[in-house]
Amino acid sequence: MSIVSELQKASLSPEPDFHPDKHPMDDFLRMDRMPHIWCSTCGIGVSVNCFAKALEKCGFPLDEVVVVSGIGCTGRVAGYVKVDSFHTTHGRAIPFATGLKLANPKLKVVVFSGDGDIIAIGGNHFINAARRNIDITVICINNFNYAMTGGQVAATTPTEAILSTAPFGNFEFPFNLPFLAESVGAVYVARWTSLHVYNQTNSMVEAMRKPGFSFIEIIAPCPTIFERQQKMGDGLDRLRWYCENSEIRNDAGTKNVDIRLRDKMVVGKFVDVERPTYLDAMNAHYKDRLGEKYKVYEG
């Protein structure tokens, strides 16, 4: 036996549960759907990886986890994760998730979708689900544009950014998502970039463990469209930019964390407060008003 093959054997043998042909994400991803559709150095895959790690850390049985997506690049997440997953209509992932959670409160329901889906076409559902404090986690990948359709201007596009339907630069005022989420009642609000993989993962753990409407905004590179249009380089250049220009300030106050195209960006965990969830509030209220007649709702 050659030294090389001996070494190889040794390198494969030390851990009894080591399976060289098994990928660590096998249990979590639908490997039969690979390769995925996302572009090289797109930030969505990073967040899916963080989400897998977060689920592992939380220790929830995967059979009880449900991922709901809307439409768009991030909307494809539901199709790749190996849990019960629903790819719904554009903007309506949150009300679908609301139905799932209310019908079976034992489910751990996570909405994974993009900024256009959640905040623009689905904005009304976002603000009302947060107001009701529906016990779901919303992970919003913000790449500042409608990427799936070729890079149109969005409700999150920073002023001045150039996109296919804003060829002379965007003149609209963009949403500040953490500020919006806090003002309508989200109990947990954080923002990270695709560079902040540990922070992102930890926030996902905290958000999923937290009862109530939790919201995480992930600023993600869209090198094929957004960064290219702004001449910001490729995905790696953008990660370097995040590294040099994002500032962790948990106490920044969401009002002050709006994003400008080339200014420093504030990230962090901005909100972590307590408020009864929709179902807890409903059960407490009806018990108070109706007494014995009320059948406590457990799904």
Partner 1 sequence: MKADPRGVLTGSHYIDGDFACCEGALAAGCRFIAGYPITPSTEVVERFSRRAPMVDGALFIQMEDELAASITIQGAVWAGKKAMTVTSGPGFSLMMEHIGLAAMTETPCVFVDVQRGGPSTGLPTLPSQSDMMQARWGSHGDYEIIALSPNSPQETFDLCIDAFNLSEQYRVPVMFMMDECVGHMMERVIIPPADQIEITPRRYTKLPPGQYLPFKPSEDLVPEIFKAGDGYRLHVTGLTHDFRGYPVMTAEVQEQLVHRLVNKIRLNAPKIWRYEETGVEDADVVLVTYGITSRVAGEAIEVARQKGIKVGMLRLIVVWPFPEPRILELASRGKAMVVAEMNYGQVFFEVERSARGRAPVVLAGHGGGTVHNIDDIVTKIEEAHRCQS
137 in contact with partner 1 (CB under 8 A): no
Tell me which of 48, 102, 267, 271 binds partner 1, using CB under 8 A: 102
Per-residue binding string, partner 1, 229-268, x by CB under 8 A, is ----------------------------------------
Write the binding mask 11 to 40 for partner 1: x where contact by CB under 8 A, - elsewhere: -------------------x-xx-------
Task: Decide: residue 84, CB within 10 A, 0-12 exposed, 13-18 middle, 19+ buried.
Answer: middle
Q: Report the nearest approach of partner 1 to the CB of residue 250 (Å).
A: 31
The pair of three-digit structure tokens given for residue 279, joined into one six-digit string: 């179902």
DSSP letter for each residue of 27-59: TTB-GGG-S-SPPTT-SHHHHHHHHHHHHHHHT
Beta-bridge mates of residue 76: none
Cα separation of 57 and 152, whole Å?
Answer: 37
Binding to partner 1 (CB under 8 A) within 108-127 occurs at 124-125, 127
Phi/psi for 141 (5° steps) reads -85, 115
Binding partner 1 (rule: CB under 8 A), the pick from 79, 211, 233, 276 is 79
The correct pick among 78, 139, 219, 259 for binding partner 1 (CB under 8 A) is: 78
Phi first, then psi, for residue 163 (nearest 5°) are: -140, 175
Q: Which of 15, 17, 63, 244 binds partner 1 (CB under 8 A)?
A: 63
CA distances from 101 to 49, 77, 172, 299 (A): 24, 19, 35, 9
Instruction: Fill in the DSSP letter of residue 158.
Output: P
Q: Which residues bind partner 1 (CB under 8 A)?
A: 30, 32-33, 62-64, 66, 68, 78-79, 82-89, 91-92, 95-104, 106-107, 124-125, 127-128, 286, 290, 293-295, 297-299
